[in-house]
Homo-oligomer: A and B are copies of this chain.
Amino acid sequence: MTIRRVAIVGLGLLGGSLGLAIRERLSEVKTLGFDHSEETRRRAAERGLADTVCDTLAEVVREADLVLLCVPVGAMKAVASDLAALVPADCIVSDVGSSKQSVMRDLLAALPGKTVIPAHPVAGTEESGPDAGFPGLFAGRWCILTPPSDAPPDRVAELRTFWEALGATVEIMDAEHHDLVLAVTSHIPHLIAFTIVGTASDMEEVTRSEVIKYSAGGFRDFTRIAASDPTMWRDVFLHNRDAVLEMLGRFSEDLTAMQRAIRSGDGDTLFEMFSRTRAIRRSIIEEGQDDAAPDFGRRH
């Protein structure tokens, strides 16, 4: 691999996991890390999230072969502008942002003439910050690259090799399609989880203590997702607005159909709708994207 020096900007869950995964699986690669928060830099150095934790952007990208932007998607534009004068000529600039059209636009605009190849590893947990990262985050997960149409194929291949070395499987698609797919498999599920947890907190007839006690009936699963970082998710919804609104419209229509079936006591329709969903679960387990154990293998 020609990537020997990687600069990680943003040392939270994704940035930290990248640093740790590189140390574990690509020991010949040197990592440098930067975060705008001094406290995060201190903690990152303590945990060894990068070989060297730097105090400035200039230091972190010096002689880098690959820069990975691991900040919220709303921060990409500003970070990219700050990097414009600093990125070495041959360096690949990539990121891990959860939406891709706006990030691609921002990076290309701020970094004319540079090799920009946006990416999104579909892997995460509900935790964030410098204590959240762990080296196995990407193993067995997918990483989607959305190179601009004129990206040099050999540089795309290099980035693919890099992600594969971290245990991910790489797929290439255009940014617009990415944003539609992820609206369905990630953004709408998060929006729904944030909403239902909010609805439950606001009720007068049911106390918060009751909601907590009886959460094992299903609600607790939604609280995990709704415990995700508010800044990250605000940015995702602001930057993938069109695809999210489109998918939300379809979900609402389907929910109305369910509501109608319940109201009219139409058990056959309900049964039919509830019977179609098991197959997807089975495929997800077969494809290694979830645990086969009941209840995620939770302790009982």
* Known contacts A192-B192, A200-B184; is-contact A277 B219 (Cβ 8 Å): no
Query: A265 to chain B: which residues have CB within 8 Å?
Result: 238, 241
B299→A213 contact, CB < 8 A: no
CA distance A19 to B171 in the complex (A): 48
Query: A198 to chain B: which residues have CB within 8 Å?
Result: 254, 273, 276-277
Query: A287 to chain B: which residues have CB within 8 Å?
Result: 212-213
Listed stretches A28-36, A76-84, A86-94, A245-253; interface member:
A245-253
* Known contacts A194-B277, A271-B230, A277-B194; is-contact A216 B300 (Cβ 8 Å): no
A290 in the interface, Cβ–Cβ < 8 Å?
Answer: yes
A206 to chain B minimum Cβ distance, whole angstroms, is 5
CA distance A182 to B141 in the complex (A): 35
Query: A123 to chain B: which residues have CB within 8 Å?
Result: 216, 300
How many positions in chain A have a CB within 8 Å of any CB in the partner chain? 111
Query: A297 to chain B: which residues have CB within 8 Å?
Result: 296-299
A283 in the interface, Cβ–Cβ < 8 Å?
Answer: yes
CA distance A78 to B210 in the complex (A): 32
A56 to chain B minimum Cβ distance, whole angstroms, is 28
CA distance A267 to B195 in the complex (A): 15
> Which A residues between 25 and 79 are near B, CB-CB below 8 angstroms?
74
CA distance A171 to B209 in the complex (A): 13
* Known contacts A195-B254, A199-B251; is-contact A277 B226 (Cβ 8 Å): yes
Query: A181 to chain B: which residues have CB within 8 Å?
Result: 206, 210-211, 214
Query: A263 to chain B: which residues have CB within 8 Å?
Result: 241, 245
A-B contact pairs, 28 of them (CB 8 A): A132-B294, A136-B300, A137-B300, A141-B216, A144-B214, A180-B205, A184-B203, A184-B211, A185-B211, A185-B218, A186-B218, A190-B218, A191-B255, A192-B255, A194-B273, A201-B280, A208-B280, A208-B283, A212-B280, A215-B290, A218-B225, A220-B289, A223-B280, A224-B290, A230-B275, A233-B274, A238-B270, A241-B263
**Contact residues of A with B, CB < 8 Å?**
74, 98, 122-127, 132, 134, 136-137, 139-142, 144, 171, 177, 180-182, 184-203, 205-206, 208, 210-228, 230-231, 233-235, 237-238, 241, 244-245, 247-248, 250-252, 254-255, 258-259, 262-263, 265, 267, 270-271, 273-278, 280-284, 287, 289-291, 294-300
